[in-house]
Chains A and B, each alone.
Chain A
Amino acid sequence: MKRLNSLTVVAAFLSTLTLVGCSDNDLPNVAMPDPVEPMPVVNYRYQVTVINLTHSQPMSPIATLLHNEMNVWEIGMPASVALEQLAESGNNAELLTQEFVIAGESGEGILMPGASETIEVSTMNSPPQMLSTVTMLVNTNDAFSGFNAMDISNMTVGESISLRTGSYDAGTEKNSESSASIPGPASGGTGEGYNEARDDVNFVAMHPGVVTADDGLASSVLTQAHRFDNPTLAITVTRIE
């Protein structure tokens, strides 16, 4: 212990000496123009790992986006057309190219129950403030899961945030659960996706869950297997650069 202490003292002393030596070797301080250095390129890169926690609800290609303003959705407010498209059909193209999106990335394809996928999204130079991730539960009328506008402005490199997300209802399509209205495999993929008509409450809320034919909705194409409870996704966001 004593030896360690004295070593530390020596090290500190040496470093002082070195510093002093350096300043001794410096030229007299003459006013010289600083060389113009190019701004270093700073990357802000994030990894988003998503696990589908449901029994039988495939997730549409995961949309992940960086932004500095706006919400992808708000409880009690009407869904944007871009969110309506994702929530009714699984198509994330419109959502990822909205004006406020700094960088948007899509998952490779459908994320099956029990499966996981890691998506990277990045931007250069100025730190992004928010990250959102959203996906459709495809054996539903207009259910989606994910998180909205997570504050990532203080995330350091290597830092991770893990969370589990519940499911929301876009409120743009009535939950008839009919074969004609479910785009996922439950209808054989024949059901309608996006339809601009809004025949439901027209605000976003938490999803009430699917009823299914097995539990008393005769017109439903869904079975007990398609039921889900919250949470539906496990998500880990890591800043890697």
Chain B
Amino acid sequence: MKRLTLLAGVIASSFAMSAQAQELEITVTNLTQGIYYTPILIAAHNTDVDMFTVGEAASNELQAMAEGGDISGLSALAAAGNADIVENPAAGLLAPASSTTTTLNTMDGNSHLSLVSMMLPTNDGFIGVDSWMIPSESGTYTFTLSAYDAGTEANDEIINGGGAPGVAGIPIAPGNDAGTGGSGVTSMEENTMIHVHRGSLGDDDLSGGKSDLDNTVHRWLNPVARVTVVVK
């Protein structure tokens, strides 16, 4: 009985530890050959903050990030929940096969990590970590991410500068390697919940066809990103 009590004490204290202040070194690697990531938002937060949930509809803030790369809304949302925040660690776009590393010091109670960034060129594709529980034990933790679709915009694959929420089209192809004159792959977004992205179609006609994307450059297979978290 005494031993049981002691054990319970140990467990309780280790749970408590995970909610204590920690120093994290976070590296994000773009694993793709031809997709760029817009300024990344990383936050350590309590369980009341939720940037997105797969299978549920995107918030307006997530939509703005996924369609136009605008992280200000999500960042404000996290800040309102007393999150520890890193904005734009790559100082701009994270190019294909590039990495960025940043340090995040967390406050007591900010026990979960979230991360988001839009994938370009896509209509509303993004990478995300949704409330990963930060381990209390020091060490290096690595995981990979799949591409998500915010479900807020039809994947027409037309590059027209459309980046504002609710405006059709892709803002830009940062590699300057896309076409023009596409007639549009689809005008429907039947699954309006956040889901795993089905991938871009693209075509082999840079001055017409359905898509402005190049099918030999702008497709991808999962995983599309690697995240390494060093808990100090």
- Chain A residues within 8 Å of B, Cβ to Cβ: 75-76, 166-167, 169, 171, 174-177, 201, 203-209, 211, 215-219, 229-230
Pick from B204, B217, B221: contact of A166, CB below 8 A: B221
21 contacts between A and B (CB under 8 A): A75-B29, A75-B97, A169-B33, A175-B216, A201-B97, A205-B31, A205-B96, A206-B31, A206-B221, A206-B223, A208-B32, A208-B34, A208-B218, A211-B215, A211-B216, A211-B219, A215-B215, A216-B202, A216-B203, A217-B204, A229-B221
Q: Which residue of B lies closest to A211 (CB)?
A: B215
CA distance A177 to B32 in the complex (A): 19
Interface: B133 (CB within 8 A) = no
Q: Contact string, B199-232, partner A, CB cutoff 8 A, digits 1/0?
A: 1011110000000000111111111101000000
Would A208 and B223 count as touching, CB distance under 8 A?
no
Interface: B180 (CB within 8 A) = no
Would A230 and B222 count as touching, CB distance under 8 A?
yes
Q: Which residue of B lies closest to A218 (CB)?
A: B204
Q: Min CB distance, A203 to chain B, in Å? A: 5
With contacts A171-B33, A201-B33, A216-B204 taken as known, whether A208 is within 8 angstroms of B96 at the C-beta atoms is no
CA distance A177 to B216 in the complex (A): 9
Q: Which residues of the partner chain B approach A219 to less than 8 Å between Cβ atoms?
A: 204
Interface: B99 (CB within 8 A) = yes
- Chain B residues within 8 Å of A, Cβ to Cβ: 29, 31-34, 96-99, 199, 201-204, 215-224, 226
CA distance A176 to B29 in the complex (A): 26
Would B33 and A207 count as touching, CB distance under 8 A?
yes
CA distance A121 to B32 in the complex (A): 32
Residue from A75, A169, A218 with most neighbouring chain B CB atoms (10 Å) = A75
Q: Which residue of B lies closest to A177 (CB)?
A: B216
With contacts A166-B223, A208-B221, A209-B221 taken as known, whether A216 is within 8 angstroms of B215 at the C-beta atoms is yes
CA distance A59 to B217 in the complex (A): 23
Q: Min CB distance, B9 to chain A, in Å? A: 31
Q: Which residues of the partner chain B approach A171 to less than 8 Å between Cβ atoms?
A: 33
Pick from A76, A175, A176, A215: contact of B97, CB below 8 A: A76
Known: A169-B33, A177-B216, A216-B201. 5 other contacts (CB 8 A): A167-B221, A211-B215, A216-B202, A217-B216, A230-B221
Would B216 and A205 count as touching, CB distance under 8 A?
no
Would B33 and A208 count as touching, CB distance under 8 A?
yes
Would B32 and A176 count as touching, CB distance under 8 A?
no
Q: Which residue of B lies closest to A175 (CB)?
A: B216
Q: Which residue of B lies closest to A217 (CB)?
A: B204
CA distance A201 to B99 in the complex (A): 16
